[in-house]
Amino acid sequence: ETGVTQSPTHLIKTRGQQVTLRCSSQSGHNTVSWYQQALGQGPQFIFQYYREEENGRGNFPPRFSGLQFPNYSSELNVNALELDDSALYLCASSHTNSNLGYTFGSGTRLTVV
């Protein structure tokens, strides 16, 4: 059983650019969520995807968007990057019928300069 894998592990982008982060969910999991974790803070919910549709969103602007594919892998896209977007981006998968916790990936460390 594979866990959640994210790529890339580290990324440096310039303000105003666009970025795509990728996530492969754990086998058997049909729901994927994305979280942003700023340095010294707890993760903040960005959005969740189920059956390839967004079914929940946190307090993040529309320039944060996502996709979920039929194989349950996922992408997080961020347009018009701002310096405050620098953070660890975590992908988490779960099964919608499970009351268990999420399985988190190791994250992508994004630095915007």
Interface residue list for another protein (CB under 8 A):
4, 31, 33, 35, 40-45, 47-48, 50, 54-59, 90, 92, 94, 96, 99-107
CB of 14 or CB of 62, closer to another protein: 62
Shortest distance (Å) from residue 16 CB to another protein: 28
Nearest-angstrom CA–CA distance, 20 and 11: 10
11, 14, 15, 30, 37 from 84: Cα distances, Å: 15, 12, 10, 30, 11
CB of 24 or CB of 31, closer to another protein: 31
CB of 70 or CB of 101, closer to another protein: 101
First to last CA, the chain: 37
